[in-house]
A and B are shown apart, each in its own frame.
Chain A
Amino acid sequence: MQSKHFQCLSCKYVGKTSDLQHLDCMPLGSRCQLVEIENPSDNLLRLMEMGLVPGTSVVIERTAPLNSPFSLRLPGCTLAVRREDAKHLLVAPLPKDSE
């Protein structure tokens, strides 16, 4: 059990747990678990109803050509989430699965 400590390079996130970071700071292709949604906007509330709730595992598949939106693969569906919204998603990195 070796918890890896990430440093959020693009934002100065200081959290309760050191290995949490914002989704938009994660590298593309990585897998993580959604831990918290900070001040969900109306748009994020809709995304929550579509399955983007705390506890869900997320694969950050790619971004559209101009770096936004992200396409996030959840178990069962793939959602498009803008960069502004991704900044509100606190995630814990998960080890890459063996697909």
Chain B
Amino acid sequence: MTLITRPETTTPTQSRRLVAIAGNPNSGKTTLFNRLTGARQKVGNYPGVTVERKTGMLTLPSGAVIDIVDLPGSYSIAARSPEEQISHDVLSGFSQGLRRPDTVIVVLDATNVRRNLYLATQLRDMGVPLVVALNMIDLARERGFQIDYEKLSAAIGCPVVPIVARSGEGVDLLLKKLELVAQTRDIPGNVPRFIDKLPEALEPPVQELADGLVQSKLSDPEHARAEALWLLISTLDGDEAVSITPTKAALTKRVLKKSGLTTQEVRAIETSSRYQYLRDLMTLSAAVEMDLPHRVTQIFDRVLLHRVFGPIVFLSVMAIVFQSIFSWAEPAMGLTESFVGWISTAIAGLLPSGMFRDLIVDGAVAGFGNVIVFLPQILLLFFFIGLLEDSGYMARAAFLMDRIMSKVGLDGRAFVPLLSSFACAIPGIMATRTIASRKDRLVTILVAPLMSCSARLPVYTLIIGTVFAANYKILGVFSIGGLVLMAMYLLSIFAGIGIAALFKKTILKSPPPPLYLELPTYKLPSLRSVALNLLDRAKLFVVRAGTVIVAATVILWALMNFELVETNAAPFEQARAQIQSNGALDDEAKSAELAAIDAQEHALHIEHSLGGQIGKFIEPVIAPLGFDWRMGVGIIASFAAREVFVSSLAVVHGISYSDDDDSTLRETLQTARTDSGVLIYTPLVGLALMVFFVLACQCMSTVAIVRRETNSWTWPIFMVSYMSVLAWLGAFAVYQGGKLIGLS
């Protein structure tokens, strides 16, 4: 597998210097990271949490090679959840698998220096050597911003370099300064740090806690005050609490209690007074702050956030995104399928026929096909998401959708992932990363597979075509088929909303998603960043989720191919011999009859297979839903992908089946009867079966991606369980309820 990046080139090692990049969201932090590292980067997770950790390598002008880690974008070092704790932990050397960084590059958005300096001065308080990169200086100057870099640099005691990360302007100078900082540490700066001159209300608790930390050897004297302030402003209680040692937590709570202040109060005081401090810092640096609003942004927002046109534009954009993953991905998916078909044929030609060849071709290669078939949809969705994020429109989408989504208890940013899930839940679940709160993100991930994805369509089509007079018109315009289909989509939406609300109130109980959203100025998206991100997504999916999908395909293959009961081949051989020797048939008729015999034999093999036996074994469980063992086999097989249900039904019913035409299958199903002669596929059974497919998690690839995104098996297992129970209850209610009111 050459796809996996060689770890020795990108994993931070002990010997090399480590530089961290910090900054506000939208400060251009990631653009700078990409410019510095190019494709030499690796994406992983921070231990224990689902926050992405990007690391990369960089060669300095002197020829020295250093490691770089991209910290999550944030406005403050204060932590309200384990996710937000990461920056603090990395910078204090508490993060597993990372050394304490030797230097930190703080990226400031020059169009809003004061606000961006908030984080920078917090980092300065922590005592890490800083290099300040004043990004987007070109845009800021255009809008009237001026600052004396030398004065600012002297005031805070670290280099200040104006750069334009997008074009690379100033980056060389930044790297030179980066080397210098390593050699000349500890320039104090001629303005005392905030932590050294705290407001009256904060001084006693911070000093007391700092003393306590030093006494208990939990911090060295140099960093104790900053650590104390961080502990006082970080949430140590509640279920999203920051994870710190019990001794530290106990000390902090004691100090808080004694001072009579709450965490919130300490934070409010810190924020107000730090902004006061920043005001002085700006004056000292002779800063002329920008007072011109961004013209282009104002003009665009007049339309894009307009009460009427705003939602119209938004829905049109969403329609394009949806259309692209729903149908534009189709040709590319066809290509990947023929590619896999070509590989299968090639491999099949090389190996002797038998169990081993089947395992490779129908298990492993098919599994590989099941993985790459998702790539077109994933790439398309992330291409659009990249454009929307980079341009600044995604924040507007969250702004427009906030009211509606928060009524349901979901984050405004959950809209795009959920909508995408109507095409396919895999890219949808991958897109939930923009949701900040862990619980809200989990709720979104858990309900995403309830959205009726495109893989369910072949199942709906088959069942509707089989059990309903699909073209019968109601009111002249609506066909029964169309109405039933619409009902399934509505069911999926309402089930999603209901389950999301339920989870928000129970297992993932949390307050309504908070809204702290900046509407950044519009920018032309950087294709380079979008492309790099696409590469990351594709790589992550293939490497991480891919292995699980291939393994599951092999297991399903084994289920369908290992026979528990031996199949007696003799009657089929006899029948074949009879046909061959029948002089009344021409060649064409002969091959047709032979194919029919083959299909019957295959059906018997499936019935005797492990999967078939499981289908029979679970028949009592699914019988109350109106299903027989053949549907049970189809349901088990469709774990590979929902549309496999259609071909598996054909196989268990012993008919040869082609993808293009399911009319033979429909006719067979319409006349299929139980041993006691009752029709199996009645409209009511069909309806129950469709409801089952709307609600059930019949997709191992979804399970694999949830495993990858939540970093645990707990949530995927929970998801499959709750959806199976829900599907069973739904189908049960439809079938038994229908029978009660006399339907069949």
Q: Which residues of A contact B (CB under 8 A)?
A: 37, 40, 42-43, 45-51, 53-55, 61-62, 64-69, 71, 73, 75-82, 85, 99
B114: A residues at CB distance < 8 A: 51, 76
Which A residue sits closest to B519, measured CB to CB?
A78
Known: A65-B311, A77-B115. A50 touches B268 (CB 8 A): no
28 contacts between A and B (CB under 8 A): A37-B268, A40-B264, A42-B235, A45-B267, A46-B80, A46-B516, A49-B76, A49-B78, A50-B75, A51-B112, A53-B271, A61-B301, A62-B305, A64-B305, A64-B402, A65-B403, A69-B402, A69-B403, A71-B305, A71-B519, A75-B291, A76-B111, A76-B112, A77-B519, A77-B520, A78-B297, A78-B519, A79-B518
Question: Is there a chain A Cβ closer than 8 Å to B399's Cβ?
Answer: yes
Give residues of chain B (402-426) contacting chain A, Cβ–Cβ below 8 Å.
Answer: 402-404, 406
Question: Is there a chain A Cβ closer than 8 Å to B341's Cβ?
Answer: no
A78: B residues at CB distance < 8 A: 297, 518-520
Known: A45-B264, A46-B516, A80-B517. A69 touches B289 (CB 8 A): no
- Report the bound CA distance from A81 to B516 in whole Å: 7
Question: Is there a chain A Cβ closer than 8 Å to B290's Cβ?
Answer: yes
Among the listed B118, B289, B519, which residue makes an inter-chain contact with A79, where contact means beta carbons less than 8 Å apart?
A: B519
A77: B residues at CB distance < 8 A: 112, 115, 518-520
Q: Are A76 and B271 within 8 A (Cβ)?
A: no
Question: Is there a chain A Cβ closer than 8 Å to B514's Cβ?
Answer: yes
A51: B residues at CB distance < 8 A: 112, 114-115, 118, 275
Known: A64-B399, A65-B311, A80-B399. A54 touches B519 (CB 8 A): no
Which A residue sits closest to B115, measured CB to CB?
A51
Which A residue sits closest to B111, measured CB to CB?
A76
Q: Are B402 and A53 within 8 A (Cβ)?
A: no
- Report the bound CA distance from A82 to B311 in whole Å: 18
Question: Is there a chain A Cβ closer than 8 Å to B458's Cβ?
Answer: no
Q: Are B400 and A48 within 8 A (Cβ)?
A: no
Among the listed A42, A53, A76, which residue makes an inter-chain contact with B272, where contact means beta carbons less than 8 Å apart?
A: A53
Among the listed A42, A69, A75, which residue makes an inter-chain contact with B399, where contact means beta carbons less than 8 Å apart?
A: A69
B301: A residues at CB distance < 8 A: 61-62, 71
B402: A residues at CB distance < 8 A: 64, 68-69, 80, 82
A43: B residues at CB distance < 8 A: 514-516
A99: B residues at CB distance < 8 A: 293
Give residues of chain B (285-317) contacting chain A, Cβ–Cβ below 8 Å.
Answer: 289-291, 293, 297, 301, 305, 307-308, 310-311
Which A residue sits closest to B80, measured CB to CB?
A42
Give residues of chain B (228-281) contacting chain A, Cβ–Cβ below 8 Å.
Answer: 235, 264, 267-268, 271-272, 275
Among the listed A65, A82, A85, which residue makes an inter-chain contact with B400, where contact means beta carbons less than 8 Å apart?
A: A65
B515: A residues at CB distance < 8 A: 43, 69, 80-82, 85
- Report the bound CA distance from A75 to B515 in whole Å: 20
Q: Are A48 and B268 within 8 A (Cβ)?
A: yes
Q: Across the A-B interface, give the 10 residue pairs with the lowest CB-CB distance, nearest first.
A: A76-B112, A66-B403, A80-B517, A46-B516, A43-B514, A49-B76, A78-B519, A51-B115, A48-B271, A53-B275
